[in-house]
Amino acid sequence: MNIAMDFWTWTAALLTLAILSFLWKDNPTYRAAEHLYIGVANGYSVTLIWYNVVVPNMIDPIAGAYRQVAREGMNWSVLNPFQEANFFVIIPMMVGALYITRFIPKISWMVRIPIGLTLGYYTAISIPASFEASILRQLEASIVTRAHMTMGFRPALWVFLVLIGTLSTLIYFFFSTEHRGILKPISNFGILVVMIGFGASFGLTVMARISLAIGRFVFLFKDWLGLVY
């Protein structure tokens, strides 16, 4: 046994135990750890946004432009957004600052402006990207071709099964008409396929969750208590 003597390893271990104690029952140590986590997580993201977004994209350009003006006098180039040092960034900063109006009831409608700007752009560029990746290429991959037929009986059968399974899943989720007549058996088959898929997801999720718990126990027994390896 080779127990850790480091302050932060002890902090981490005690916090791990505090949170695990919730498995026994809700208690003050768990609640304290949970509240601490929320505060620290937000403080951490404040720091990262400051150093990775605010400083390089807002403070540096403005300070650079200010120095340039002090050095060479005012000229138009400090307004050029393509230049490294510029005052132009003040405009998107002012637009971004409109987010704060959310807390001022009289002008809170202005928060929609920055939301609209980002939402519009990112929605538009996501349409062709997801259409290509999740729909067109997937449809292409479902098509049974002559090449599939030459792969042998079993692979060809599986390709057919995938096609039928995909179609019946789509029909099962197609709610615009009632599932009657020919649609009924197809959608029934569809739900079976979906259930197999969910079962597979469940089985894999078990592995994922166990991995995470293993990670914590390895920390407790190896890094903290020094019992392992």
Partner 1 sequence: MKRKLALYIMFTMAVWGGISVFIGKQTVHNFDNLLRNKLLLIVGAFAIILGLGSLIFHHTQKIKRNARYWQYSYITLGALIITSFIGLFGGVRGEGGLPTFFGGTVLGTYQGNIYTFQDKNELKLFKADPSRYAREDIALMPLPQGVSEDLSRYEKSVLLREIQLRNTSLQLQNLEIPLMISPVSGEVVPFEDDFGVSIQNIYEGILVPCGSTMFAMLAFYMCSAAYRAFRMRNLHAGVLLVSAFIVMLGQIPLITAFIPGLHDFRQWILDVPNLASKRGIMIGVGLGMAATSFKIIFGIERAWLGGGEE
Partner 2 sequence: MNDRTIWEKMMQVDRRVIYLIVAIVMIVPIIFPFDLPIKISKRTTLKLFNAIEKFPEQRSVFFISADLNPQDQPELYPMLVSWIRHCFHRKIKVLVMCLYPTSLGLAEQALNQVSTEFNNRASQGIGRRIVYGEDYVFLGYKPPPIVPILGLGENIFDVFPRDFYGNELKDYSTLPMMENIKNYRDMDMIGSIAANTLPVTYIAYAQARYGIAVTGGVTAVSVADFYPYLDSGQLTGMLEGMKGAAEYEGLIRETFPEEDGRRLATEGMSAQSTTHLAIILMVVLGNVCFFMQRRHESRRG
Q: Which of residues 96-115 bind partner 1 (CB under 8 A)?
A: 96-100, 102-103, 108-109, 111-115
Member of 104, 144, 151, 210 binding partner 1 (CB under 8 A):
210
Q: Name the amino acid, one letter, at 102.
A: R
- Applying CB under 8 A, does 199 fall inside the site for partner 1? yes
Q: Which stretch binds partner 1 (CB under 8 A): 63-71, 143-151, 178-186, 195-203?
A: 195-203
Left, alpha or beta for 181 (phi > 0: left; psi -120 to 50: alpha)? left
104 binds partner 2 (CB under 8 A): no
Quick note: the x/- pattern for partner 1 over 124-143, rule CB under 8 A, is xxxxx-xx--xx--xx-xx-
29 binds partner 1 (CB under 8 A): no
Which residues, at least 6 apart from 159, have a Cβ–Cβ distance to it below 8 Å?
144, 148, 151
* Tokens (6 digits) for 76: 């138009």
Provide the minimum distance between the beta carbon of 9 and partner 2 in the complex, in angstroms, as a whole number: 14
| Residue indicated by tokens 């008409």 | 177
Decide if residue 185 touches partner 1 (CB under 8 A): no
Q: Residue 149: helix, strand or coil by DSSP?
A: helix
Tokens representing 175 are 């709610």
